């Protein structure tokens, strides 16, 4: 009888340890992963068409921002008014820290050289905004544009301006909804 009681206590302790382990995994999945690694974001608006559309869900990864590994043409999610204001934008990185950006005759120039890119919905950019004059990016700043440049509020507008690295929350990896367009995003 004593051995039976010991076995019951051992099984009970084992069950409690398993429950504790599952609780830790659930907390990591709910709190840690979205805050530091991966997060789902819902696209709202047409500024990234034809690449992304309203109500599509994308998965962003947050490691490349912390590792300073963002590249030209990456699609990023950022808070234009800082992380305390709950409004995020999704745009494509065009200019990198330390570069000079200018839009002239509907085309983008980086450090004086024409940028060869095929992401814009329109062939030429009709509104250069602040980039009609050369913009020099700081060491922690990015110049971003939406792919649908006719409707996009982006770095050309003073209300958004150059995006500081600290305001970028992640880089878009995959489109996860709807299932019919599941896959990577270029």
pLDDT tens profile 123-160 = 889 999 999 999 999 999 999 999 999 999 999 999 99
Our answer to whether residue 152 is catalytic in this structure is: no
> 185 lies in a domain?
no
> 55 lies in a domain?
yes
Q: Given the residues 62, 91, 152, 155, select the one marked as catalytic.
A: 91
* Domain around 58: 43-179
Kindly state whether residues 72 and 19 are assigned to the same domain: no
52 within 8 A of 185, measured Cβ to Cβ: yes
Residue 170 has pLDDT above 80, yes or no: yes
The span from the CA of 102 to the CA of 68, in Å, is 24
Q: Summarize the confidence of residues 152-175 as an average pLDDT.
A: 92
Q: Given the residues 2, 14, 47, 180, select the one marked as catalytic.
A: 47
Kindly state whether residues 96 and 143 are assigned to the same domain: yes
Our answer to whether residue 47 is catalytic in this structure is: yes
Q: How confident is the model at residue 110 (pLDDT cuts 50, 70, 90)?
A: very high
Kindly state whether residues 33 and 86 are assigned to the same domain: no
* pLDDT tens figures, 34-45: 666 678 888 998
More confident call, 12 vs 158: 158
The span from the CA of 62 to the CA of 169, in Å, is 6
Whole-angstrom CA distances from 122 to 26, 27, 49, 119 are 45, 45, 10, 9
Kindly state whether residues 66 and 124 are assigned to the same domain: yes
Whose tokens are 């099984």? That residue is: 11
| Residues near 91 by beta carbon (within 8 Å), at least 6 away in sequence | 47, 48, 75, 76, 78, 144, 145, 146, 152, 154, 155, 163
């Amino acid at each position: 009888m004593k051995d039976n009681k010991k076995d019951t206590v051992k099984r009970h302790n084992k069950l409690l340890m398993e429950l504790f382990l599952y609780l830790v995994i659930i907390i990591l999945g709910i709190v840690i992963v979205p805050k530091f690694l991966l997060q789902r974001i819902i696209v709202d608006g047409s500024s990234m068409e034809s690449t992304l559309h309203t109500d599509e869900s994308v998965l962003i990864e947050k490691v490349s921002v912390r590792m300073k590994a963002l590249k030209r043409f990456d699609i990023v999610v950022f808070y234009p008014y800082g992380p305390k204001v709950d409004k995020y934008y999704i745009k494509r990185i065009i200019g990198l820290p330390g570069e000079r950006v200018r839009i002239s005759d509907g085309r983008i120039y980086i450090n004086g050289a024409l940028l060869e890119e095929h992401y814009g919905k329109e062939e030429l950019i009709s509104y250069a905004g602040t980039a009609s004059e050369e913009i020099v990016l700081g060491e922690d700043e990015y110049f971003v544009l939406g792919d649908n440049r006719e409707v996009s509020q982006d770095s050309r507008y003073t209300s958004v301006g150059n995006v500081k690295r600290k305001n970028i929350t992640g880089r878009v990896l995959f489109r996860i909804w709807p299932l019919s367009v599941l896959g990577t995003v270029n």
